[in-house]
Amino acid sequence: MAATHRVSAVIFDLDGTLLDTERATRDVLKEFLGTYGEVPDAAKEEKRLGQMHRESTTGIIADYGLPITVEEYSEAIYPLYIKRWQRASPLPGVNRLLKHLYKNGVPLALASNSIRRNIDHKILKLGELKDCFSVVLGGDQVPHGKPCPDIFLEAAKRLGVNPSSCLVIEDSLVGVQAAKASGAKVVAVPSLQSQRHCYSIADLILYSLLDFHPELWGLPPFEDRIQGALAMEPLLSNAQIGDAVQNNTHTLIAVFATGECTYDSIPDQISGIFFGWAKSETYGVFKAVVSTGWDLSPGKFERVMHICFLDSHNKAKTEDSLELLLIGYIRKLQSSENISQAMSITDEDQATARDALDLPAFCEYAKTRGALDLPALPEYAEPRNGLLLA
């Protein structure tokens, strides 16, 4: 791909962009307001996404008529957030991108509307990757937070580059507005899919960082795909087989359950063609390709998932419960106004997944984790097309 823009540094937001803190803390406000007999208003809370701490807190106190000050609110709710932040993990594609940019010497900064004290707690969930950033800024370290451009102007200054040569990666609308006001280029990865139509001012809109192509911005390209497939951090989910779509492809129905393997473990940003294993209580473990996306047509707003079974045409039975372990990514969904057509799993997708699932590069996590009681990997492999395939 030819570069449409050339940048020399990249600035990341934190919450909802690098870490899945938005989902991890989704019930905190509900729990807190419940002690006052109040229930969160979804529309009002969506508008608060990405706001500065004091602005957000002041709005919450006013909207729900809470008989407390900003300081009292912050002191009371802070322990609840600390606990939930421990559940947050990097979003798909984050580890891969940070390692790649850092390895290639691209200056990196972190610029969040969160206060610096909170950033220092959250960033620990990035592990060693937190050291990739030469600049870390919180909203309390600049005169005005997003949507004002101050934090991105200051980040560029500390990186020693012109704001116009920076690429900002953001999930919130106020973050995108701030980045554009600073003169930077902006990639939006919305954390609220219902608001995707609001991000037209961004230079590019993605579903997840799995679809980020550095070369579009004059940055070194990725070279880690293996025969068209990309290894990724595993996603665990529970689901139920729905109606047949065609041949051995079925819809999937969400199953909300407790424990580690829950449908909620698939982030809202996830969209595209993935592959891994499915475990049925009746038939055991078998290879599968899963397409997932969002139906945003008028009057609808829901996640849609299809599963294609690679091992047999006879293992799919409606209403069977499944455990899913997705470990690889193939591509984004096709462009189409019809969600079912966009999510079609092609013969090429199936062939790519079938071959990849025999490769140690894609199996290693499942082998060591044993999440679905998978059979042991082959001891030997023979070369094919220059790669090792079992």
Residue pLDDT, tens place only, 123-170: 999 999 999 999 999 999 999 999 999 999 999 999 999 999 999 999
Between CA 91 and CA 215 the distance in angstroms is 21
Domain extent listing, the chain: 9-18+90-217, 21-49+56-86, 226-368
SS3 of 198, please? helix
What pLDDT score was predicted for residue 154?
Answer: 98
Q: Would you say 38 and 64 are in contact if contact means Cβ atoms under 8 Å apart?
A: yes
Structure tokens belonging to residue 1: 């791909």
Regions of the chain short of the pLDDT cut 70:
1-4, 50, 254-265, 312-316, 364-390
H/E element holding 153?
A: helix 150-159
Rounded to the nearest angstrom, the gap between the alpha carbon of residue 127 and the centroid of all alpha carbons in its chain is: 17
Amino acid at 130: K
Please give the Cα distance from 277 to 264 (Å, whole number): 18
Q: Which residues are identified as catalytic? A: 13, 15
Are 11 and 133 within 8 A, CB to CB?
A: no
The tokens for 9 are: 């540094």
Distance CA 23, CA 226 (A): 31
**What predicted TM-score, i.e. pTM, was given to this entire model?**
0.85
* Residue 387 pLDDT: 26
> Residue 278: which residues within 8 A CB-CB, separation 6 or more?
285, 286, 287, 288, 307, 309, 322, 323, 324, 325
Closest of 194, 171, 167, 130 to residue 21, by C-alpha: 171
Task: Tell me if residue 190 falls in helix, strand or coil.
Answer: coil
Look up residue 381 and give its two tokens.
């492999």
| Residue environment code for 117-147, b if the CB has 16+ CB neighbours within 10 A, otherwise e | ebbeebbebbeebbebbebbbbbbebeebbb
The CATH class of 226-368 is mainly beta
Instruction: State both tokens at 24.
Output: 């991890």
Give residue 3's pLDDT. Answer: 62
The token pair that represents 229 in the structure block? 């497939």
CATH class entry, domain 9-18+90-217: alpha beta
Q: Which residues neighbour 80 within 8 Å (Cβ) at sequence distance 6 or greater?
A: 28, 31, 32
- In this structure, the chain runs to a length of 390
Q: Considering just the CA atoms, what is the radius of gyration of the chain in Å? A: 22
Which two tokens mark 127? 């592990």
